[in-house]
Structure 1
Amino acid sequence: MKILDWYILKRYLVTFLFTLLILIPIAIAIDISEKIDKFLNHNLSFYQVVTEYYSHFTIYYANTFMPLALFIAVILFTSKLSNNTEIIAINNAKISFTRFLYPYFVGATLVTLMALLMNHFVVPNSSKERKKFENNYLKQQNYQDKYVKNFSLQLTDSTYIFIQNFDTQSNSGFNFSTELYDGLILKSKLVANTITWKAVDSTFSLSTWKLRRLFPNKDSISQGNRLDTVFAFTPKDLVYKSALSQEMPSNELGAFINLSKKRGIKNLNAYYVEYYKRTSMPIASYILTIIAVALAFRKKRGGTGLNLAIGIAIMFIYVFLMKIAEVLGAVAGVNSLLYVWLPNIIFGCLAIYLYYHAKK
């Protein structure tokens, strides 16, 4: 790379980190003002709050603010280059707009790789610890989070279970049944009044159970007061909430989606949205970089302020479309991949238009 490329790349990364470091303390300050009374009520130490909560809070919001920080940073330092007539000197040196973008794309690549690593592995593990702290100290247990009612699950191609009511805190439920099929023919059915998960040995304990086996010429019925057995599920498999997807690394989330499909879970689009979003948002770094450079490349009468106002408006529209796409993509029966990538497609077209306009 040439001296000019290193100069632009350095300004790109330094301004990006500086902008990000400005946004994060603002988010922390707002969060502290909302939760300070809860910290005091639980007698939490400063060290505990910082290490168990705000360390993970910082990781989450640094990843969330990354596109905004990148966009603002590129507009700021490119506008400064333009206002200082440095871009005029670059044009006089016969450097094309495409060649001028080269160090920007190197910077966008570094940011994208970091964002991909954060989205797929670092942030999910961090979110798990952050939400654990929130559930222990900051939130009240929701009734809907505690109980699962009328839940059915397909464990294998031939095995199905049904639970009428299950308490996720005590890991016990009522009116449990499991059926085993050979094609369309029922081979056996096991019912129990209660089912309890024993985490020590990863088994289930059934009470007041009855097992009926069906044969061509006769049936066999056995029963008892207690039966310890193993099933191909755990209590956490009974809770299907989109929030859980945010706590799974991508390899675990992908395996969870595949297993859930085999078990016959009908609507997994909320999980698909989270899975696809982890790639689409980092790739947006390239699109946002092109848009920001194209906006700030030409010197305008309004200067940096005008470029920044236009940029923030565009960023607001992008975030708005992204949130709408996430909601619509989670609806059953739609193509989640298309909805998640739709904001990038729309703004990608805008980036191409602005690129050719600036190139002229």
Structure 2
Amino acid sequence: MMRTADLEYNLPPDRIATEPVTPRDSARLMVVDRADPSRVKDMRVRDLPGQLRAGDVLVFNTTRVLPARFFGRRIGSGGKVEGLYLVSLPEAGGAPKWVVLLKGKHVRPGVVVALDETEGGQSGYSLRVVERREPGGWVVDVEGPRASTGEVLDRVGHVPLPPYIVKARQQTGFVADETRDRERYQTVYAAEAGSVAAPTAGLHFTPELLEQLERMGVERVDVLLHVGAGTFKPVETEIVEDHPMHSEWCSMSRAAVERVQRAKREGRRVIAVGTTAARTLEAYAAAGETPEYLETRLLITPGYRFAWVDGMLTNFHLPRSTLMAMVAALFAERGVERLKGLYERAIREGYRFYSYGDAMVVV
């Protein structure tokens, strides 16, 4: 069992990255030897090819981030409402239904929220609150001209940046550029839309870096996991394993599974680009079959024996998060202690943290 308090660390506010670096692969990269975490090198993401070898398999999550954040006003009172789209429910006639998070006063069934257009003004769409959906969500009817969820969100939605970036920007007076965020809070290989948060380790890759890796014989495998809002939920239980882990849908094609299994048989390394790719790999390894889609509540903590993942490229994560626990599980002994030591080193050396920040690779 693991104490949640062990995942605490103090981060100076100025270490929170409020915007990404340009170009993407100029982000700093801490290279950590998985077998001996005391062996650390400071590099740039563009130097990653020098830390890999021909035959290694890099696994990427190709999800695309939806413009899932929206704003509106309550019809009647005019009160401001902010929300986050989570998922669409199967339609059974009538208005399309979404599950959303809503932040505003006096939200209850029957309330109608008129949605603002992305550029301001009325969009012609509104949300009628139907019922509470645990944990923390609301079922709403989408009222307005008939359109797909993607079309509605393109009209009313904003980039769903994590709250800590929004807060840090407000505190520093940073002026946000919505157009730039729409480009940069998205991987260059994003394909199928469905996430409300980016698989942030992948944000560091450029087309040129991907081409260089391919030329040197690094094999690429694509998987899919749509990142849900639960990824930001801190662990609030005293013991990490008691945390009610959120579920997410993931997908691996049969060909992708076979390529990973072949690499494992041949003794080649499988390296996950991000915690979402790692979660997908381990969920399919545990399934023992290859369904088109798989719902997983897999919680990885120190002591877990990885079946397919040999290494991981990942950003620096929030304290008290399941993501920290997963990265700590990569180390055979004293995982949390070793990871916190690496985080302390990163703070001393001026690394930038969280979604728009720098990265570490453990191989």
TM-score tier after normalising by the smaller chain length: under 0.3
Task: Flag the structure with higher helix content.
Answer: 1
TM-score, length-scaled by structure 1:
0.25
TM-score where L is the length of structure 2? 0.25
Which entry has the higher C-alpha Rg, 1 or 2? 1
Structure showing the higher strand proportion among its residues: 2
